[in-house]
């Protein structure tokens, strides 16, 4: 476990290796957190939920850090307003790395004690999974921050614009009862529990994701200007935010569409799967194509027949609790359950997801306007 802990913690710092000190403080919108904050918050999680309760000789690193680096845990007290995380120049990146090292040293001490405590083991595993979630957020937040800069910043190649063409075929799932949710050994989040049966009518789902070239056809056909394709809330959002294409797309009169990637701006690869689209856009495209988005239950029922994992895939399911869902006691009960309102479910994983951090029962969720994540879609009928 100590080896795994060290590997995951090191990967977080590896993501930051190409950056300059000024890059760590960027927060161009509320949903984006500064990279410096991610480094500290993931450390605060281990300090707060593992070290303080279980390491009897542990001394808190800094009393103000509980205020600075708590994310949304109301039961842990007051905290920095989310939209103001980028206001703070101190503590410095160097000081936060020292904080990480301090906590890592004491985590190593705790793990070497080899305590037999199931609750501690569960919280430790949750902390590691939580850090992997933040690793993906670091990529998406950094991309959004650099995407506002005209300097065409290059930091890492993730294969965001990679051709992945395959002939679209339809996989048919016959009607019947499907088992939904996690069961068995290994880790899952609480929102995956409550395994249950769902009756599904026969449906078909595309074996491939919608590609950039197909999305460009949607734009050329005036898809963003056709009100009958859009939800009412979506139309208001389109007008307010002046949305006319996926996030990071730009159209040059001579060269055509391009997109910003973490390895710089690239001419759009026609056969790469479209990404950085909202649920509103995904639903409108499906309407335009004469198809629909799959529900999260249809997606899970078909997952073993799909090649998934390059984009988080929007589904047409609201984020709601499964039958018998139970919040854990204490602050950890705030992890998922309180967000089960005004969110839509995404399934799969993305090119920025940690290699061992995905499974077909994983339920990601974002509001219908979210576009800065690596989000795409596949169609159903």
- Residue span of the structural domain in which 274 resides: 170-376
Whether the model pTM is above 0.95: yes
The verdict on residue 154 lying in a domain is no
Cα 153 to Cα 7, 149, 259: the distances in Å are: 28, 8, 13
For residues 196 and 84, state if they share a domain. no
The verdict on residue 362 lying in a domain is yes
Q: What's the total number of domains in the chain?
A: 2
For residues 103 and 175, state if they share a domain. no
Q: What φ, ψ does residue 283 adopt, rounded to 5°? A: -65, -40
The reported pLDDT for the residue numbered 164 is: 84
16 contact partners, CB below 8 Å, separation of at least 6: 24, 35, 39, 138
**Number of H helices and number of E strands within the chain?**
10, 11
For residues 39 and 186, state if they share a domain. no
The reported pLDDT for the residue numbered 65 is: 97
* Cα dihedral: 56, 58, 63, 69 (round 10): -100
The reported pLDDT for the residue numbered 268 is: 97
Phi-psi category of residue 290: left, alpha or beta, with phi > 0 → left and psi -120 to 50 → alpha: left
The verdict on residue 66 lying in a domain is yes
Looking up residue 352, the CATH number of its domain turns out to be 3.90.1580.10
The verdict on residue 8 lying in a domain is yes
Say if residues 58 and 51 touch (Cβ distance below 8 Å): yes
Nearest to 110 by CA among 213, 1, 262: 1
Given a cut of 70, the residues of the chain with pLDDT beneath it are none
Omega before residue 353 within 30° of 0, cis:
no
For residues 232 and 365, state if they share a domain. yes
The verdict on residue 152 lying in a domain is no
For residues 133 and 268, state if they share a domain. no
């Amino acid at each position: 476990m100590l080896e795994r802990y060290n590997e995951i913690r090191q990967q977080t710092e590896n993501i930051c290796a190409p950056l300059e000190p000024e890059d760590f403080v960027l927060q161009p919108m509320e949903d984006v957190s500064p990279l410096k904050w991610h480094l500290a918050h993931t450390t605060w999680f281990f300090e707060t939920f593992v070290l303080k309760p279980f390491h009897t000789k542990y001394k808190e690193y800094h009393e103000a850090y509980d205020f600075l680096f708590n994310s949304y845990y109301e039961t842990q007290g007051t905290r920095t307003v989310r939209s103001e995380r980028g206001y703070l120049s101190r503590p410095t990146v160097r000081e936060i790395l020292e904080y990480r090292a301090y906590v890592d040293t004491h985590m190593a001490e705790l793990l070497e004690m080899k305590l037999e405590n199931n609750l501690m083991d569960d919280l430790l595993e949750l902390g590691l999974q939580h850090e992997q979630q933040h690793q993906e957020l670091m990529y998406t937040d950094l991309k959004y921050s650099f995407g506002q800069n005209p300097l065409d910043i290059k930091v890492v190649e993730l294969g965001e614009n990679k051709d992945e063409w395959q002939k679209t075929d339809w996989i048919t799932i016959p009607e019947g009862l499907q088992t939904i949710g996690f069961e068995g050994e290994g880790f899952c989040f609480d929102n995956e529990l409550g395994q249950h049966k769902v009756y599904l009518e026969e449906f078909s789902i595309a074996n491939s994701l919608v590609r950039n070239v197909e999305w460009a056809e949607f734009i050329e056909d005036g898809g963003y200007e056709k009100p009958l394709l859009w939800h009412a809330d979506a139309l208001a959002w389109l007008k307010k935010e002046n949305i006319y294409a996926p996030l990071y797309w730009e159209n040059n009169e001579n060269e055509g569409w391009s997109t910003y990637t973490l390895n710089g701006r690239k001419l759009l690869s026609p056969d790469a799967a479209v990404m950085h689209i909202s649920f509103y856009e995904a639903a409108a495209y499906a309407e335009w194509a004469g198809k629909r988005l799959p529900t999260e239950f249809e997606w899970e029922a078909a997952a073993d027949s799909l090649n998934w994992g390059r984009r988080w895939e929007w589904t047409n399911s609201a984020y709601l609790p499964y039958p018998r869902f139970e919040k854990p006691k204490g602050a950890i009960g705030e992890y998922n359950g309180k967000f089960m309102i005004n969110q839509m479910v995404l399934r799969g994983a993305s090119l920025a997801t940690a290699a061992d951090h995905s499974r077909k029962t994983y339920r990601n969720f974002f509001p219908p306007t979210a576009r800065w994540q690596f989000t795409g879609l596949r169609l159903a009928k």
